[in-house]
Amino acid sequence: MRKNILIIMLAAISIGAYSQQPKWQTLFNGKNLKGWTKINGSADYKIVDNTIMGISKMNTPNTFLRTDKMYGDFILEFEFKVDDGLNSGVQFRSNSLKEFKNGTVHGYQFEIDPSSRAWTGGIYDEARRGWLYPMTYNPAGQKAFKNNVWNTARIEAIGSSIRTWVNGIQCSELLDDMTKSGFIGLQVHSIGNKELEGKTVSWRNIRILTENLNQFKTSENLNIKQMNTIANTISEREAKEGWKLLWDGKTTNGWRGAKLDGFPTKGWSIKDGILKVHKSDGGESTNGGDIVTTRPYKNFMLKVDFKITEGANSGIKYFVDTELNKGAGSAIGCEFQILDDNRHPDAKLGVNGNRTLGSLYDLIPAPKDKPFRRGFFNTAMVVVKGNHVEHWLNGIKIIEYQRNNQMWEALVDFSKYKDWPNFGNAEEGLILLQDHGDEVWFQNIKIKEL
């Protein structure tokens, strides 16, 4: 009897131990492309030594080899190798729908980037929003990828949490909920240089886990910067780091008209988590007027997601003093310019492009090659640490400057702000969203005081 009980106990232990092992599914059998379909482009894929090899080709758009099966939550692992000069990626939770750009592949992409930029492991939103997690957020992760050898990759997509690894080093930590399911796709990027034709990118040992994900997911690494793109939310990590919503996504709490005691009764609206300034006559603060925070801020990191309509003009101002300008026009403060550079005439005014998108308006120009996402929300970030100020756009720093010094004063004296005493030198000020007579959308407005 005791022997039988012992056997049963040992069997139970064995079954329990076996059930704890991850049940990986192989996505590529090493022999053929069963379960995969090529779409969008005409670059070639072939099987060589148990690997899938993509071959670059001129005169074709991005080409994808996609799984026929769709996946929602998963852990994906694979190995990859890419020739220098190419750019590639692995799509996940991606789709090809007739109603979206006539079937163009769109969705999350694990970046493969052998260039000196070194953004392998970053997260790109193909054909939609662009970079969600550029590797500027994680410089240490930029060293993970190795050129001209096989690299290992891991993607964990569980709920709204998306994380990536290269060669065991975590590269990204993203919270995003735009797409919950889609295919896995291997990309051969389009090329414009004949010398790159015939170069290759290869993948092997592709496997996916779809069961018991919380048991096998990687522990959280608090040293990796987390990016939360879910509108009007503060994640647990953000709350611990001191981030707060500056706009709650529902009410006008915390905001008033720049020249009013309360919030404007016209010209602005709130719907579906979006704060919208309405189209009017294109004039500066002539409809609902600018809105400002009800309290000033000193040292901070400010993030504002904005989306512009065609030809629109607006701005995000800081160090604003609403007592300075009681007359017509906008309240006075330093401005992160929001502008449709291609359609609005202001882009050609000022000096050397200092009125273009992302510029410190009329003072310091943003670079021409800034990472703007036309037709989608973009993230503006302003960082203030004493007299040091930075402008960021979609994770890329585009401007930094020092104020309260001789160079600053000379810059101001050569601008439209020359007649405003001590412009830009205040220790603290209000934050402003501008009504410039064009329709612009705002959401995900948050701040961290430093």
pLDDT in tens, 80-109: 999 999 999 999 999 999 999 999 999 999
Percent of the chain with pLDDT over 90: 92
Do 92 and 124 touch, CB atoms closer than 8 A?
no
- Statement: residue 8 has pLDDT above 90: no
Residues 258, 393 within the same domain: yes
State residue 351's pLDDT score. Answer: 94
State residue 192's pLDDT score. Answer: 94
Residues 440, 303 within the same domain: yes
Residues 68, 190 within the same domain: yes
> Which of 166, 197, 223 represents a domain boundary (last residue)?
223
State residue 85's pLDDT score. Answer: 96
Q: What is the DSSP string of 335-353?
A: EEEEE-TTT-GGGGSSSTT
State residue 19's pLDDT score. Answer: 55
Residues 204, 322 within the same domain: no
- Statement: residue 408 has pLDDT above 90: yes
State residue 10's pLDDT score. Answer: 45
16 within a domain of the structure (yes/no): no
Please state, rounded to an integer, the average pLDDT across all residues of the chain.
95
**Averaged over 274-282, what is the pLDDT?**
95
Tell me, what DSSP letter sits at residue 71?
B
Residues 219, 341 within the same domain: no
Residues 203, 298 within the same domain: no
**Averaged over 58-66, what is the pLDDT?**
98
Residues 255, 203 within the same domain: no
3 within a domain of the structure (yes/no): no
48 within a domain of the structure (yes/no): yes
Residues 176, 202 within the same domain: yes
> Which of 182, 197, 223 represents a domain boundary (last residue)?
223
Give me the CATH number covering residue 86: 2.60.120.560
> Which of 223, 245, 277 represents a domain boundary (last residue)?
223
State residue 134's pLDDT score. Answer: 96
Residues 255, 391 within the same domain: yes
Distance CA 416, CA 434 (A): 17
State residue 326's pLDDT score. Answer: 81
State residue 12's pLDDT score. Answer: 45
Tens-place pLDDT, residues 307-357: 999 999 999 999 999 998 888 889 999 999 999 999 999 999 999 999 999
186 within a domain of the structure (yes/no): yes
Structure tokens at 194: 């004949």
Residue 179 Cα distances to 46, 58, 81, 232, angstroms: 30, 31, 28, 17
18 within a domain of the structure (yes/no): no
Tens-place pLDDT, residues 171-219: 999 999 999 999 999 999 999 999 999 999 999 999 999 999 999 999 9
Give the domain extent around 257.
Answer: 236-449
Distance CA 314, CA 169 (A): 40
Count of structural domains, the chain: 2
Which H or E run includes 8?
Answer: helix 2-19
Residues 111, 206 within the same domain: yes
**Band of residue 9 on the pLDDT scale cut at 50, 70, 90:** very low
Residues 284, 370 within the same domain: yes
State residue 14's pLDDT score. Answer: 45
14 within a domain of the structure (yes/no): no
